[in-house]
């Protein structure tokens, strides 16, 4: 995806200098910085969540991975629940 953004001259100059030190293009440096920022924010959010919120998120992720075409009958569900008790 291509997006154009406006960057002030001071920041652009700093990016160019950093790209020389890192031996990468300005574009690559910006992509790396954005990936780092997003990962940091995700980690920050995860660390601030309660245990219950983490469990809910885990359940949501598992539900998204589930095969929605695979179904079970009501009797199979009740049978499994009876085994738990």
Looking at residue 67, its pLDDT comes to 83
For 2-80, where are the E strands, in sequence order?
none
Looking at residue 34, its pLDDT comes to 94
Looking at residue 85, its pLDDT comes to 73
CA distance 26 to 49: 35
Looking at residue 66, its pLDDT comes to 84
pLDDT digits (tens, 9 = 90+) for 27-79: 999 999 999 999 999 999 999 999 999 999 999 999 899 888 888 889 999 99
CA distance 59 to 35: 25
Looking at residue 17, its pLDDT comes to 96
């Amino acid at each position: 995806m291509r997006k154009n953004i406006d960057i002030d001259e001071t920041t652009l100059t700093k990016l160019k200098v950093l790209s020389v030190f890192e031996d990468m293009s300005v574009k690559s440096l910006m992509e790396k910085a954005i990936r780092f920022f997003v990962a940091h924010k995700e980690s920050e959010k995860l660390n601030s969540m309660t245990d219950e919120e983490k469990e809910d998120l885990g359940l949501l992720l598992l539900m998204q991975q589930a095969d929605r075409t695979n179904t079970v009958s009501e009797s199979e569900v009740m049978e499994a629940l009876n085994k738990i008790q």
